[in-house]
Structure 1
């Protein structure tokens, strides 16, 4: 028996690891279309600093994060982990840019009791409003509409909308509330308000605590806010790749698939070299968009997969040989209603100190990429836009000493209203047609690194043979 994994991103590499752990004698082949594994995680090391061209940190909270920490421990990366504590300036100071001014978002209990622009009232008043608000029975709605309905337009515009820009480069007016606030949504639907649900849940019997391994215990006791690797986040997929190879996983790069034939007894992958790869079972970790373009003969499945939209993000890393930042903070995000061509800026040299220098990452595009930049903008134009925004917002007029421009095409799925139902229909189609296909990755149940790793783990756990 053999299994083929399509895609060498963090989901594919994790799936290979968990498969080998569960089935020691299984023949496993991983096919990656590009010349490297790791997917969107890419770290470019320079003299004393790192350009992270995709994700840069990982959250340590929740069961999915505990799973990631366990995996990191299993593959021997514990000593490579570094973290920012919850009292670090980058953890405490997160900003939004509104009406030409950078505003620090409230980050303590006391800040809930005072008025903090851009909000016109203390946040506690929005909480009181939520408690008194009548409920509305809906199956799903946008996260913007939900927050506006419960807390008002200011919270929706200045807290949730920029947060969605930062997490998935998306438009909060299209993204499902179940993407980020699923539990709060269900509390409102069940109890009539989020606040009432919170009070009810206090008195519920709590589930048995998860047994923590060494690294997860450290994260809890040391109060990590985020964690990363001292030589860049790409250390993680590279170590996974190395461990998988040592455990006889056949990993092949430059293996571009052109089409996939699926039937109940066999999967045939046609490769661009006119070769074929046949297997009794395929695990697809590539994006739903890419998969929809490859599958032959299953029009309904293709339609469902292609209905999950993706956005393109431009990431521009900038290095200056002088200290230019006046604020110690994680960075800032820009609410969409400001109608500016960037999503936000990360202050990398605050998160990852760079003595005597400044490192910044400008994020651009997302849901609005074509609106601001068209189909194929030049690198020169993208850089000019980024530098102009830095000058306007941070008053930085210096030219960077080095930079890196990356346009990540169709990199982040958008969990629009109805996404959960779409995913359910995809799985039902596969099951009803008895297709030897399993899906995991960020297209379906979460867009972060923890989500990607956890999706691989839960998928493998369900496999019988």
Structure 2
């Protein structure tokens, strides 16, 4: 028995299969509960009309170690890429809907000096606030990203810059999300030097300090695609024919290399012994030597409850939110007054909409205007209750598109998706929680590795790198 089992056929599970195959070349099987691979990545093609709908992520950023790692994977799979360079309008223009108007966020140093709505003071004043505010009251292990931003840069930055950004990334409430989710290095600089700007300047002068944490150093020799992305200044990219090409290509590659991807195969129990693990699948128990779980924490928890109730309880401490995605297609490409990537809505505006993405500004959609409206998140139940109808969700999205973007036309075509428990929330203390979960697994010597959005970052780059790093931690088999 040398089989490794991967639970979950989303992008992290498929990536785990890919890296296991390349590292060990041993037999392995991926078990996916649903009838398709890809998890939340889903592209809907409307080729006859020249557009696509993305119901999950649509672009990938090529930055840092994680970005370089994904580009290496994309290159190895020979996938055609659609880049957006940093000079493109979708990379330059990002907007907020606040105080009853669409506001363009500053995109150059000049924007720091002027007063731009919704802010009532020039943004350089927020930097001065950080420089003139004393050090931390007490050394903190963690705090909310909202309280950190408010403390260092003032309430306006927390309300109109940080809070909407958190809505855009994880559909969460910045007052609950850990500062270590996005601003770990800034938080550590503040803790060490008594201020963010001071910390950034000191570490610039003392370059060696951040060598070990260098986020721009790829894992291996950078791939040609990564070098191209740097040279051509890509801000983000997608794949020709949409992002679902990535999980599909991974599945095809795995199939060609004798990796068994079993769809509609839900694992309903997981138990461990000194010589491996046993998976409960339908009516069978299957012995395996190691399990890599890319399942959401709340799905893994009940599988281990019987044998490891405290591990189950720790996993259930990671909360998730529901997000509504409404794709809208209009027969004209002249509807938007202002082009850009899209807009975010700060929670202080008290609207059900988290943001609107202007898909047809990012990529050519053959004369159509394509918008994606995202709603709910942390505030889903407050706005929509328990079981909203598709019509109710569609009507809410269209009503706010009319109000915010002044688009009077009715969409020709639309799709509504309710993504239940789709994004984990890295609430205050998350880093410690994940460490405790992994310590438990190590202390009990469980043949179990955890990767995916619940642990090491919620973006596509994060979950792919999470899979790779967990596979690389596995010991190579002893050769006699």
TM-score (norm 2): 0.94
Q: How far has the Cα of 1:156 moved from its partner?
A: 0.2
Distance between the aligned counterparts of 2:65 and 2:365, measured in 1?
A: 33
Report 1:140-289 matches (<5 A).
Answer: 140-206=142-208, 207=211, 210=218, 211-271=221-281, 273-289=282-298
Contact 1:267 / 1:280 at 8 angstroms: preserved in 2? yes
Q: How far has the Cα of 1:463 moved from its partner?
A: 0.7
Q: Which residue does the alignment assign to 1:436?
A: 447
Q: How far has the Cα of 1:266 moved from its partner?
A: 2.6
Q: How far has the Cα of 1:262 moved from its partner?
A: 2.4
Q: How far has the Cα of 1:348 moved from its partner?
A: 0.7
Distance between the aligned counterparts of 1:354 and 1:244, measured in 2?
A: 32
Q: How far has the Cα of 1:398 moved from its partner?
A: 1.7
Q: Which residue does the alignment assign to 1:355?
A: 366
Contact 1:264 / 1:433 at 8 angstroms: preserved in 2? no
Matched, 1:304 2:314: yes
Q: Which residue does the alignment assign to 1:133?
A: 133
Q: 1:368 aligns with which of 336, 358, 379?
A: 379
Distance between the aligned counterparts of 1:426 and 1:228, measured in 2?
A: 34
Q: Which residue does the alignment assign to 2:415?
A: 404
Q: How far has the Cα of 1:432 moved from its partner?
A: 0.9
Matched, 1:450 2:452: no
Q: Which residue does the alignment assign to 2:120?
A: 120
Q: Which moved more, 1:132-141 or 1:185-194?
A: 132-141
Matched, 1:393 2:395: no
Distance between the aligned counterparts of 2:384 and 2:424, measured in 1?
A: 20
Distance between the aligned counterparts of 2:142 and 2:207, measured in 1?
A: 27
Distance between the aligned counterparts of 1:38 and 1:354, measured in 2?
A: 23
Distance between the aligned counterparts of 1:147 and 1:383, measured in 2?
A: 34
Q: Which residue does the alignment assign to 2:337?
A: 326
Q: Which residue does the alignment assign to 1:29?
A: 29
Q: Which residue does the alignment assign to 1:16?
A: 17
Q: How far has the Cα of 1:280 moved from its partner?
A: 1.6
Distance between the aligned counterparts of 2:273 and 2:173, measured in 1?
A: 38
User: Structure 1, residues 9-32: CA drift from partner, whole Å, max 9, x if none?
Assistant: 1111111111111112x1101000
Q: Secondary structure of 1:463's match?
A: coil
Q: Secondary structure of 1:254's match?
A: coil
Q: Secondary structure of 2:251's match?
A: helix
Distance between the aligned counterparts of 2:303 and 2:393, measured in 1?
A: 32
Gaps of 5+ in 1: none
Q: How far has the Cα of 1:371 moved from its partner?
A: 0.7
User: Structure 1, residues 418-441: CA drift from partner, whole Å, max 9, x if none?
Assistant: 000100100111111111110000
TM-score (norm 1): 0.97
User: Structure 1, residues 135-193: CA drift from partner, whole Å, max 9, x if none?
Assistant: 21211100000000000000000000000000000000000000000000000000110
Distance between the aligned counterparts of 1:92 and 1:252, measured in 2?
A: 43
Q: Secondary structure of 1:314's match?
A: strand
Contact 2:146 / 2:174 at 8 angstroms: preserved in 1? yes
Q: How far has the Cα of 1:299 moved from its partner?
A: 0.9
Q: How far has the Cα of 1:448 moved from its partner?
A: 0.2
User: Structure 1, residues 88-123: CA drift from partner, whole Å, max 9, x if none?
Assistant: 111111111111101011111111111111111111
User: Structure 1, residues 318-369: CA drift from partner, whole Å, max 9, x if none?
Assistant: 1111131111111111000111011010011101122322100000110000
The verdict on how the C-alpha distance between 1:374 and 1:264 changes in structure 2, with shifts beyond 3 A counting, is farther
Q: 1:382 aligns with which of 365, 378, 393?
A: 393
Distance between the aligned counterparts of 1:111 and 1:397, measured in 2?
A: 32
Q: 2:300 aligns with which of 288, 291, 299?
A: 291
Figure out how many residues of one structure are paired with residues of the other and give that number: 461
Distance between the aligned counterparts of 1:16 and 1:168, measured in 2?
A: 26
Q: 2:65 aligns with which of 35, 46, 63?
A: 63
Q: Secondary structure of 1:161's match?
A: helix
Gaps of 5+ in 2: none
